[in-house]
Amino acid sequence: MRAAIFDRDGVVNVETGYVRREADFVLVPGIEELFGRLHADGYAVFIITNQGGIDLGMYDRTWLKKLHAPLSEMGVKEIFFCPHHPLVGRCLCRKPESLFYERIKARHAVSAATMVGDRVRDLAPARKMGWKTVRIGKAHADDPPFAPDFSFADVVELNDNYLSVFAKN
Ligand SMILES: [Mg+2]
Ligand SMILES: [Zn+2]
């Protein structure tokens, strides 16, 4: 199966730091169109997100799952969230750790995949998996050296270039 894997904050929803109120969860322009197009082309869409706010006691898993309901309604197949925070303890699921990436590959027999993220630290593990990498937004000063396969200002621009990124083959 072909998979498209997304970071959440800053890619699917507007970056506002920790999202702990429903009102702060605002989808970015074009994301619904992108998911729809991917589904029409037979892609499975996944999200991998670090949600250390759970470990920090800002919100809990039940609330987070409710927050994600609209994404499931948009056809997102599975949302993997790391509830851990490095101040509380280490884990193997917080990006850039690759546990969730490997889980997707193993559970869903992924033949080809593309990862879309706003931080290259999320893209580095994807490249190690052999996946295509797409950065949304600008480079950051603390980015590790990494050249994404594609780089776009925003999801609208990604949609404009959909066919070159998600080429049928
Ligand atoms: Mg992000
Ligand atoms: Zn974790």
List, for residues 34-55, the tens digit of each pLDDT value: 999 999 999 999 999 999 999 9
Q: Which residues surround ligand 1, an ion (CB under 5 A)?
A: 7, 9-10, 118
The structure tokens listed for 19 are 């999202």
pLDDT tens readout for residues 115-127: 999 999 999 999 9
Instruction: Quote the number of domains for the chain.
Output: 1
Compute the distance from residue 94 Cα to the ligand 1 centre, in Å.
Answer: 12
Domain that includes residue 124, residue range: 2-165
- In this prediction, residue 169 carries a pLDDT of 55
Mean pLDDT, rounded, of the chain: 96
Catalogue the active-site residues.
Answer: 7, 9
Whole-number pLDDT of residue 118: 97
- The pTM for the full model equals 0.96
- How many angstroms is it from 99 CA to the middle of ligand 2? 9
Cβ atoms of 1 and 108 closer than 8 Å: yes
CATH number of the domain encompassing residue 59: 3.40.50.1000
Q: How far is the CA of 82 from the centre of ligand 2 (A)?
A: 4
pLDDT tens digits, one per residue of 68-96:
999 999 999 999 999 999 999 999 999 99
- Alpha helix positions (H), the chain: 31-40, 61-67, 69-73, 99-107, 120-128, 155-160, 162-165
Phi (first) and psi of residue 66, to 5 degrees: -65, -40
